[in-house]
Structure 1
Amino acid sequence: MSASLSTYVSETLRQRGIDVGHNLSPAAHPELSFEPPTLVTKEIRLEFPSRFGAFTKIHGPGHVTWVEIGRYGSFAPFVTLGANEHDMRRLSTSSSFENPGLYGWDVLTSGAASQDFHPFEKSVAPVRIGNDVWIGQGAFVASGVTIGNGAVVGALSCVTRDVPPYAIVAGNPARLIRYRFDHETIIRLERLAWWRFALVDLARFPVTALPECLDALERAVEAGSLEPYDPSPVTLGSLA
């Protein structure tokens, strides 16, 4: 993807309600996808086929490696989602062994280019994040972690294990503090899957009063008066 094409893609995405800031680069993966509308201002590792759900706001600065994120997510500044892992079973954890010539150290120290490469295998796995997840400022989520719907991650937390739906976790390493709601309410929320509806439709309900809001939403769904919001995701490959 050339620089001019990157500009074209960024503008086209913005016109469709997808704001990715200045993150595009020639290395963008063609299956990187965004469900409109969404906002991503953190730095994205574009060589991975990440997916971003509608009505999600991922504020920068911060770092996104390989993610699958649902709808209505809230991500504070300085959050890191995934990172390369180093294999601790090898002679060395140094990434220099992946490519000894990356910075010219092979020629500098031996006078010849090295042909010996030892890449880390499966050093990155996708971070899977559900719908309505809030991650506080400065949190770190390790590669391969799954965070359930409605979960909350406290600021500066280090998340190395999966987080159940509607759990509140915090600390280093992150530990369960409590759940946002009682068990029965969580079951109702998961069954309702309210995130399948558009923001403007949901905003008409009393979102600040949960019991009344759930009752009203369940009645509306049963009556068929709410239509799911189902836009087509936009992939970078479709715009190139």
Structure 2
Amino acid sequence: MSTVAATAKLLDVLQARRVFLHRTAERRVRPTDQFSFLDTISLEPYIGIYSGLSLPDRMGSFSYSNSVLPLACRIGRYCSIAGGLSLLGSSHPLDRLSSSPFTYEGLPVHQHLQSAVEDFAPTYTYAARQPRRLNPWTTIAHDVWIGQDVRLARGIHVGTGSVIAAGAVVTKDVPPYHVVGGIPARTLKVRFPDDIVRKLLASEWWTYRFTDFEPKSVLDPDRFCDWLGEQAGQRKIEPFEPKSLTAADLLAAESTIAD
């Protein structure tokens, strides 16, 4: 993980690369603030990160979030994320004497347990290694709408076109175009019939700029897919392939100030 100061130069770079931190002209970030990010970060332009100072590992064009985003999060294009999103904690073993982490050796080290080992049994050997960890990446695909105060299990995949109702606790993958809600979350409905879902996924419409779409065509997904197929087939519309903002870009902006 790396950090950079929220200098005026860095904020100018973000603005120029169309990474927005505020909905209005009023800036929420102070010069003393520090942004944190992973070295693998890749942010496409035309995104809104409207809360927090942690930058997600991936975020696609035309997406926005009103939540503080975890670093190990990958978000596709055209996503809408309300405030209060959080990730559930890591899992504990249920088939042992105790679910407490004293039954396994793992990282990060729990200081309250490690101090007991040092005080009472310096040569103590843990019974087992840490249980298999979940996929650390929480992936939110394209065109996902996440409501207020949603909680996601770590490592799950939220499918393209899906909707998560406010207050839901999502413990497993969400299929494309499913609307889920509740605790634990379950499917409430599917947005479109199966044939329309297949057409939408096959079209990969999110790879294009919405400004290239015929405005009224978006009101009818079935007809839109036909329109897009015709336009793409005649090369009247091309996929949007912008340059992404990387860790090197962020660090370069800070080093410019240092120099």
Fold match, TM over 0.5? yes
Q: Among all aligned residue pairs of Structure 1 and Structure 2, give the percentage whose two residues are the same amino acid.
A: 25
Cα distance in structure 2, aligned partners of 1:153 and 1:224: 35
Q: Quick one: which amino acid aligns to residue 87 of structure 1?
A: H
Greater CA drift, 124-133 or 3-12: 3-12
Cα distance in structure 1, aligned partners of 2:166 and 2:202: 29
Asked if 1:78 is matched to 2:84, the reply is: yes
Cα 1:12–1:220 change in 2 (3 A) is same
2:240 aligns with one of 219, 225, 229: 229
Give SS of 1:71's match. coil
Asked if 1:219 is matched to 2:230, the reply is: yes
Shift of 1:177: 1.2
Say how many residue pairs are matched: 230
Q: CA RMSD in A?
A: 3.5
Cα distance in structure 2, aligned partners of 1:221 and 1:188: 14
Q: Quick one: which amino acid aligns to residue 90 of structure 2?
A: E
Unaligned runs of 5+ in 1: none
- Map of 2:44 onto structure 1: 35
- Map of 2:92 onto structure 1: 87
Cα distance in structure 2, aligned partners of 1:25 and 1:124: 27
Normalising by structure 2, what TM-score?
A: 0.74
Q: Quick one: which amino acid aligns to residue 42 of structure 1?
A: S
Query: Which residues of 2 match residues 11-26 of structure 1 at below 5 A?
Result: 11-20=12-21, 22=29, 25=34
Deviation digits for residues 49-87 of structure 1 (CA, Å, limit 9, x no counterpart): 711111101113x4434111110001011112x344153
Unaligned runs of 5+ in 2: 23-28, 252-259
Cα distance in structure 2, aligned partners of 1:78 and 1:26: 19
Shift of 1:230: 0.3
Cα distance in structure 1, aligned partners of 2:130 and 2:157: 22
Shift of 1:204: 3.5
Cα distance in structure 2, aligned partners of 1:137 and 1:98: 33
Shift of 1:2: 7.0
Q: Quick one: which amino acid aligns to residue 41 of structure 1?
A: Y
Normalising by structure 1, what TM-score?
A: 0.80
Cα distance in structure 2, aligned partners of 1:146 and 1:67: 10
Query: Does the CA-based 8 Å contact 1:157-1:174 persist in structure 2?
Result: yes
Greater CA drift, 16-25 or 148-157: 16-25
2:57 aligns with one of 46, 50, 75: 50
Cα 1:153–1:27 change in 2 (3 A) is closer
Cα distance in structure 2, aligned partners of 1:183 and 1:225: 28
